[in-house]
Amino acid sequence: MHDTAQAGGQDTPPSAQHGLPYPAQGTQELQGPRYIVAGLGHDVVSVQEFSAQCAAPESEFLACAFSVREIRQSQQRSAAKGDKIAAHLAARWAGKEAFLKAWCEALSRRSGGTGSSAGEAGIPTPSTRAPYTYPYTVDNFPWREVEVVSDNRGVPHITLSAEMEQYLSRSLGVRAGNGEGGIEGREENSRGEAGCGASPYIDIHVSLSHDGPVASAVVMILEITGTAGTAHTAGAAPAAGSC
């Protein structure tokens, strides 16, 4: 065993043992953002059935479900891969449904699992454990306001309309966020870390896949918050688990 005793009988702080800077007396040791999984959603889609639904005579499904940007990106992806556009649109559709499932799970976890799918008014806050109402039903969900689009590297993201973003954040009792790393102008701490010490905000992650007859998507809604650590006296070891 290594002897960590100092003159005066004090133990060497763990950070000092490894040559790390240690906060001076009266200062706070800032911690990075903390991530909590607020909701998780998964959906699978039959590419064949989805294609038939899109091709049905007088069908308005594509116009109601997808933005112009989503359709254009799916066309480009289809041309690059040499496959059918239906597979790429089906994966995006799975992403939208997975997002709705993740949102509903987030509400359920916050409200003790007692809710309905009426789609009426009544937005809960984290402090209320009363029965809640799901934000929408499958029939009245504004699908075009939830875009599943790819960045210039082909990585999918979920982008919400301003109205949808505000509704989502209010329903979960957090600040507005988006699927591309949070909101502009959120607070930063002295080390430039966004969100540290600020009120919670949300971030959305999506993963898409399709293989043969099946398209699939997983969506995770994260609640992100940053807090400052406990102030430590110089030369005294911090409490267990605080750094």
* Beta-carbon contacts of residue 42 (< 8 Å; ≥ 6 apart): 98, 101, 216, 217, 218, 219
Task: Tell me what the mean pLDDT of segment 180-192 comes to.
Answer: 36
Task: Tell me what the mean pLDDT of segment 168-186 comes to.
Answer: 62
Instruction: State the pLDDT at residue 229.
Output: 40
Please work out, in degrees rounded to the nearest 5, the angle formed at the alpha carbon of residue 189 by the alpha carbons of 185 and 191.
Answer: 115
Provide the pLDDT confidence category of residue 33 given band limits of 50, 70 and 90. confident
Q: Which of 190, 187, 171 is nearest to 225 (CA)?
A: 187
* Beta-carbon contacts of residue 228 (< 8 Å; ≥ 6 apart): 28, 29, 30, 31, 189, 196, 197
Task: Tell how far CA 114 is from the center of its chain.
Answer: 23
In a domain, 19, yes or no: no
In a domain, 233, yes or no: no
In a domain, 20, yes or no: no
In a domain, 17, yes or no: no
Question: Between these two residues, 55 and 113, which has the higher pLDDT value?
Answer: 55
Total domains, the chain: 1
In a domain, 85, yes or no: yes
Paired residues of 210 in beta bridges: 215
Binding site membership: which residues?
43, 97
In a domain, 168, yes or no: yes
In a domain, 12, yes or no: no
Instruction: State the pLDDT at residue 88.
Output: 97
* Residue 107: CATH number of its domain: 3.90.470.20
Binding site membership for Mg(2+): which residues?
43, 97
Tens of pLDDT, residues 63-96 = 999 999 999 999 999 999 999 999 999 999 999 9
Q: What is the reported pTM?
A: 0.68
Domain residue limits at 124: 29-228
